[in-house]
Amino acid sequence: MTLATLAEVLQPALAGRYAVAGLVTLGWEDMRAYVAAAEAENVAVILQAGPGCREHTPLPILGKMFRHLAERSSVPVVAHLDHGYTFDECKEALDSGFTSLMFDGSRKPLSQNIDETAAIAEMAHAAGISCEGEIGFVGYDGGENSAGTDPDEAAQFARDTGVDAMAISVGNVHLQQDKVGGLDEPRIRAIEALTAVPLVIHGGSGVPMAQRTALARTSNVCKFNIGTELRMAFGAAMRAAVNSDPDRFDRVSILKETHDPVVAATRNVLAAFKGA
């Protein structure tokens, strides 16, 4: 059994100068491919159940799916709640067997974000699992704008919440389909100068590969969340499978053809985070 907590995979990454991928899941086919890719690359992986995933599949089912894969994996697998918005939602994930809770209070005033995140972290740690918090709102491509993380506020947040990882807003954007942007490295350096907590980049699909690798090897960014580019790979593979035979209707046979392309795309993502 290689079920792991977030702290158990991020602390070695911080010390060893590499990063671990938090891979956004939507169903059985992609999470199974993610673990296969992690085994092929011999790296730990964080399976993430975000709001979209939870709308489709209940948390207790997702917890069982994640743990089933972890128990049969040769590499560490973290069962992670991504963007939990309430205490009750985080408690349900804990009760469902998740090993890491990400509470997102980034839209709230600093003091409220700290208080609510600290309560989630206390609950998680009492149960022997991990907690990730977010300071500085990360926006959405074509939607809400980001609010960059203030380094002094980040230091206060890390100190007062006791989180195991801290998501920051440094030019990253959710749901970005291209990699023409990049992250604000001076802001990252300013934040890591004030706290030793492992840093997390949400919206990692929009970060150029070279910058991902450089930050993994030279900064305290130990976790990149990747979703959009792998969903694009899945969608392209499924579209090709459907279009190859208009008379096909068996979804299992169609979905099987997504596995190898998603594994290949995921291995490319994971390889960029390895240490030198």
- SS3 for 82? strand
Q: At what angle do helices 59-71 and 28-41 cross, to 10 degrees?
A: 30
| CA angle 121–125–129, rounded 5-degree value | 105
Closest Cα to residue 138, out of 166, 97, 115, 160? Answer: 166
CA–CA distance, 173 with 209 (Å, rounded to integer): 15
| CA angle 149–151–155, rounded 5-degree value | 110
Instruction: Look up residue 41 and give its two tokens.
Output: 């690359």
| CA angle 162–166–171, rounded 5-degree value | 155
Instruction: Look up residue 73 and give its two tokens.
Output: 């994996």
User: Is 89 within 8 Å of 119 (Cβ atoms)?
Assistant: no
- SS3 for 76? coil
The neighbour count for residue 74, using CB atoms within 10 Å, is: 10
Asked if 88 is an active-site residue, the reply is: no
Phi then psi for residue 126, to 5 deg, are -65, -30
CA–CA distance, 89 with 91 (Å, rounded to integer): 5
Catalytic residue among 82, 104, 150, 164: 82
Phi then psi for residue 14, to 5 deg, are -60, -45
N- to C-terminal Cα separation, the chain: 28
Q: Which residues are catalytic?
A: 82
